[in-house]
Structure 1
Amino acid sequence: MKQTPLQKRGIAADRIVLGCMGLGGTWDNSPETNEQVLEAERAIDAALESGIRMFDHADIYKMGKAEIVFGQALKNRPYIREQLVIQSKCGIRFAEGEMPGRYDFSKEHILSSVDGILSRLGMEYLDILLLHRPDPLMEPEEVAEAFAKLKESGKVRHFGVSNMNASQIKLLQHYLPDPLVVNQLQMNLHHIGWLEEGVLVNQQAGTSFSFPESLLAHCQLENIQIQAWAPLAGGLYSGRELSGQPESVLQTKKLVHRMAAEKETSAEAIVLGWLMRHPAMIQPVIGTTKPERIRSSVDAIRIAEQMTREEWYSLYVASRGRKMP
């Protein structure tokens, strides 16, 4: 079986990641509850039973509560830590008093963020740390100093980015001795700019898509794992109410459900399998905390392996809402 970029680097990462943004209750400073910890336990158990061992966090998720309840859920099972791949992100700061929401890649903020992440998770190290969104004031030398200190101390083993273009990655990588291993991006069957950017080369229609030129190719060339956030497009094709949606969305949903019935699987598995069928070995980060949806998503691995070129293009063209150029 073809290896993912992370697997090629010796990181025991699965084809699917469980995103933990949904854990921890509400986006405020209210205290975590026992029920939220139980929800985390159920989600972790469902993931492990389904063969998912990689979990994605960020220091801002539910104002830090997502990491807290996850850590508490694992507190009585510390022996499984070595079986897991834990990833978190930093660099986004919420508004405080008169200060606006902002990004911060300063050495001081990165180091303090990791200390906070590890404290909330109750862990000694992260497998991967991602910089969450590009900071216009990034000093790459300063980021490199922070990364070096984190690696030397054993607090972080690998580093990556999120929502960065190829030039930003190249700039940062120039100052780093170790390779960036992940770039996490919004990619799904509805948000298809990542495909249109390549298909619409030398065409006027190609100027209407914001996905960075050559980013996909750069990540593939440099063995950077592409992770997809919102890979199910918010349930657009697998359960969300579609009133007011364009005809292309309605037709794509019908096709997804028809394929799911034919292949005796879930709509989620079809949508994820389509994404995973791409040669870049894209790793979807699923955001559900419901055990049944976690389990239904994992069949996407089988679907990706079996999906034909014709089936893949049928879904792509349906989503485009027009024939290929």
Structure 2
Amino acid sequence: MPRSPLRLLDGTLDPESGEGGESAAHRFVLGGPFGAEPAETSAERLARFADAGGLLVETSHSYAAGQAEAAVGQWLRKNPGTLGVVTKVGHDTTGADIPLGAATVHAHVRAARENLGVETIDVLLYHCDDPARPVAELADTLVSLVESGLARRVGASNWQAHRLSALAVELAARGHTPVASYQFGLAEPDPALLGGSLHADTGILDVVRAHRLPLLAWSSQARGYFARTGPRETHGGPDPYDTEDNRARRHRCRELAAQLGTRPETVALAWTLRHPRVWPSIGPRTTVQIDRSLEARRLPLTEAQVRWLRHGR
């Protein structure tokens, strides 16, 4: 039967239940260095993820200097209907924000569709905000993408909480619920070191819960932080996740992993899965790392364990 990632986003398909023919479907979203690695490496991971019940692959019009979508599209053309796709527009190929005028957005989305080899993009997100434009205008552009058949679901990444709330209101008035995309996981980064991207802090989560938004949680594994034992540089600078609080959380993950016979990064992902309507995005480099991530589905953490992992009490 056709795979239904958007039914899962809407909460009308129960992961793991097999309802609707989606046997072993799960909430993980696959990211990775598509376009910056050999095509065979990408293909191996995409196939393993799909075979294991994956529904969505995530990329961006700007990743890998603009080559990522085409790399994902190369596999999707050979495996049509196997995975849905999330992509983002609003950055140029250097990663810089661009103005989100309707004509520019439509042009980039049409190019993304051609790159990916799909008629309609499953989830299309603004990669950034354009604070100079009214939220209503940006909402109108998103709705026009759906009405023109370029996208099925729309939303935003890295918007301030008050702008995200306004977007949810504007889209609701037009019959749509936006998908939100922010960094979220057990490790909370130092915002000064996150390079302008936003963590789903209390303000963002309040908006997500109030409007019942699906949340795509990128860097849910904190860029491998829970698998390491010490700090490492990120893009030539300090690791934004290497804080005193996160070192304590990593220690607790190691302690609980030893009790459960698993790995600390798997425990951290299980913590994220305990949050409803959150889709953790994983960035494995190997199929083994995919399998380790999927083990998180089989760790039934208790409420006390979820609280202890985060707060230590």
| TM-score, L = length of structure 1 | 0.77
Aligned-partner Cα distance in 1 for 2:105–2:77: 25
Residues 125-180 of structure 1: CA deviation (Å, up to 9, x unaligned) = 11111111121122334334433332222111111111223421232344431323
Aligned-pair distance for 1:187? 1.5
Match for residue 267 of structure 2 among 263, 270, 273: 270
Match for residue 225 of structure 1 among 176, 194, 214: 214
Residues 212-246 of structure 1: CA deviation (Å, up to 9, x unaligned) = 55431321232201121111112112136337956
Aligned-partner Cα distance in 2 for 1:212–1:239: 24
In structure 2, the residue matched to 1:239 is 228
- Give SS of 1:284's match: strand
**5+ long unaligned stretches in structure 2:** 1-6, 15-21, 192-197, 233-237
Gap change, CA 1:106 and 1:237, over 3 Å in 2: same
Aligned 8 A contact 2:168 2:178 in 1: no
Aligned-pair distance for 1:52? 1.2
In structure 2, the residue matched to 1:298 is 294
Match for residue 308 of structure 1 among 295, 302, 306: 302
Whose relative contact order is higher, 1 or 2, with alpha carbons under 8 Å and at least 6 apart? 1
Aligned-partner Cα distance in 2 for 1:169–1:249: 27
In structure 1, the residue matched to 2:195 is none
1:86 and 2:85 correspond: yes
Match for residue 38 of structure 1 among 12, 21, 40: 40
Aligned 8 A contact 2:11 2:277 in 1: no
In structure 1, the residue matched to 2:29 is 17
Instruction: Say how many residue pairs are matched.
Output: 283
Gap change, CA 1:224 and 1:251, over 3 Å in 2: closer
Aligned-partner Cα distance in 1 for 2:177–2:108: 19
Gap change, CA 1:59 and 1:292, over 3 Å in 2: same
| Root mean square deviation, CA, Å | 3.1
Aligned-partner Cα distance in 2 for 1:264–1:212: 31
- How do 1:86-235 and structure 2 match up within 5 A? 86-94=85-93, 101-176=96-171, 177-191=174-188, 213-235=202-224
| TM-score, L = length of structure 2 | 0.79
- Give SS of 2:100's match: coil
Identity of aligned residues (%): 24
Aligned 8 A contact 1:237 1:253 in 2: yes
- Give SS of 2:215's match: strand
